[in-house]
């Protein structure tokens, strides 16, 4: 017998004192240090709860509560269901043993008890119990370690998320600052840049674009006019209508913007390139720089085109005073000869009408 087995706790349950003394003496002679006894099923349950035995020898025929009832209760209790139970009985019939197995007995030993047989059965069941305890403890340690690692991973992901958010904020701030370079001499520049993103965000969300697309267009739209960095100040700030030569030069800001933003690895910059190149294209094919028509125009360009027109109508320019929301909305949805509903994708025009209140709030909120 190993030292570990000799330190195991044994509970012997029998209503006959001579049987308790005999079995206790056998275990003591084999070096077991922790042996307890009980005289009936009720006392056995109480001792099981307090003593926490590693192995129970349980007589079947006892007053108050027999061995079957006690074994059944032991098995139903999650705190004790793992303890091996050996039924000790003078009953040798098949039905008694089947009933014992049904209530959860692990093994049987017949009266009168043979010392050698008793120790062999005890040794085998204690080894099984020892192995089960090892597995249970191992699983608990694994579970604890998994929880600890999960907690550490969660904290790491939170820190990474915070770090990524800071990087993103810095990235977006850099975009806005670079975009201001292109429109530095315009009035209301910072607010116009913010409005460009929020207008586009509202329309993209209303149109049911993917979360990634909606998020990207919020940051990409402000770069729509970055090509104006290549325009002479006298054209950008001219108080009168541009002549044909000046307007032809102004139209090249779309091409310049596309070149500036071209060949980026960033999804946001890639979308900004599309918007810069296509936000002056028109649904009827009479826009610029390529004269694209209908769905040949990228969706992002079609989307930003309508809110760009709205913002231009609402804003003060060197050559015009600002219009209120009602007039700007009427021009876009009904036309004024220069701006007409057929210039816009009908689906996006419908979305614009449905989002008009939100779009008006954006202009009012981000106006210097």
Question: H or E stretch including 11?
Answer: strand 9-13
pLDDT of 7 over the 90 cut: no
Predicted TM-score (pTM) of the model is 0.56
Shared domain check, 120 and 248:
no
Shared domain check, 354 and 241:
yes
Percent above pLDDT 90 for the chain = 52
- Token representation of residue 193: 């840049």
Shared domain check, 222 and 353:
yes
User: Would 178 be classed as within a structural domain?
Assistant: no
User: Would 174 be classed as within a structural domain?
Assistant: no
Sequence-distant (≥ 6) Cβ neighbours of residue 276 within 8 angstroms: 223, 224, 225, 226, 227, 254, 257, 258, 260, 261
| Range scoring the smallest mean pLDDT among 66-75, 90-99, 109-118, 275-284 | 90-99
What confidence score (pLDDT) does residue 177 get?
63
Alpha carbon separation from 58 to 44, 182, 212, 251, 310 (Å, rounded):
8, 91, 67, 97, 89
What confidence score (pLDDT) does residue 2 get?
45
Q: Dump pLDDT digits (tens) for 49-92.
A: 999 999 999 998 898 899 999 999 999 998 888 899 999 887 76
> In 3-state terms, what secondary structure has residue 226?
helix
pLDDT band for position 346 (cuts 50, 70, 90): very high
Structural domain ending residue among the three candidates 89, 107, 140: 140
User: Would 157 be classed as within a structural domain?
Assistant: no
Percent above pLDDT 70 for the chain = 91
What confidence score (pLDDT) does residue 172 get?
67
**Domain containing 225 — which CATH number?**
1.10.3210.10
User: Would 171 be classed as within a structural domain?
Assistant: no
What confidence score (pLDDT) does residue 63 get?
87
What confidence score (pLDDT) does residue 182 get?
57
User: Would 300 be classed as within a structural domain?
Assistant: yes
Q: How many domains does the chain fold into?
A: 2
pLDDT of 157 over the 80 cut: no
| Range scoring the smallest mean pLDDT among 38-42, 72-76, 105-109, 314-318 | 314-318
The answer to whether residues 11 and 57 touch, using CB atoms and an 8 Å cutoff, is: yes
User: Would 301 be classed as within a structural domain?
Assistant: yes
pLDDT band for position 3 (cuts 50, 70, 90): very low
User: Would 155 be classed as within a structural domain?
Assistant: no
Shared domain check, 97 and 41:
yes
Mean pLDDT of 278-288: 97
Range of the domain at 86: 3-140
pLDDT of 289 over the 90 cut: yes
Shared domain check, 197 and 70:
no
What confidence score (pLDDT) does residue 237 get?
77
């Amino acid at each position: 017998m190993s030292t570990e087995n000799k330190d195991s706790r044994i509970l012997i349950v029998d209503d006959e004192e001579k049987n308790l003394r005999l079995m206790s003496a056998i275990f003591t002679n084999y070096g077991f240090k922790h042996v307890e006894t009980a005289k009936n099923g009720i006392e056995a349950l109480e001792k099981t709860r307090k003593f926490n035995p590693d192995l129970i020898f349980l007589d079947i025929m006892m007053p108050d509560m027999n061995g079957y009832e006690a074994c059944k209760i032991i098995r139903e209790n999650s705190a004790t269901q793992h303890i091996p139970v050996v039924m000790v009985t003078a009953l040798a019939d098949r039905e008694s043993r089947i009933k014992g197995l049904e209530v959860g007995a692990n093994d049987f030993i017949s009266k009168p008890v043979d010392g050698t047989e008793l120790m062999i059965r005890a040794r085998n069941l204690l080894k099984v119990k020892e192995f089960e305890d090892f597995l249970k403890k191992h699983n608990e340690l694994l579970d604890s370690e998994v929880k600890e690692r999960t907690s550490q991973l969660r904290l790491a992901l939170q820190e990474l998320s915070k770090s990524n958010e800071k990087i993103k904020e810095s990235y977006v701030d850099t975009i806005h600052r670079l975009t201001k370079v292109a429109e530095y001499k315009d009035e209301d520049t910072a607010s116009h840049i913010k409005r460009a993103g929020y207008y586009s965000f509202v329309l993209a969300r209303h149109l049911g674009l993917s979360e990634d697309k909606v998020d990207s267009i919020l940051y990409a739209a402000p770069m729509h006019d970055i090509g104006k960095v290549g325009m002479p100040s006298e054209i950008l700030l001219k108080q009168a209508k541009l002549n044909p030569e000046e307007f032809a030069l102004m139209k090249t800001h779309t091409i310049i913007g596309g070149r500036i933003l071209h060949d980026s690895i960033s999804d946001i910059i890639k979308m900004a390139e599309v918007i810069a190149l296509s936000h002056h294209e028109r649904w009827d094919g009479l826009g610029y720089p390529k004269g694209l028509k209908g769905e040949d125009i990228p969706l992002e360009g079609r989307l930003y085109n309508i809110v760009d027109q709205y913002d231009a109508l609402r804003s003060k320019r060197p050559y015009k005073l600002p219009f209120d929301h009602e007039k700007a909305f009427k021009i876009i949805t009904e036309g004024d000869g220069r701006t007409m509903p057929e210039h816009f994708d009908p689906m996006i025009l419908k979305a614009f009408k449905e989002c008009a209140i939100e779009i008006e709030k954006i202009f009012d909120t981000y106006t210097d």
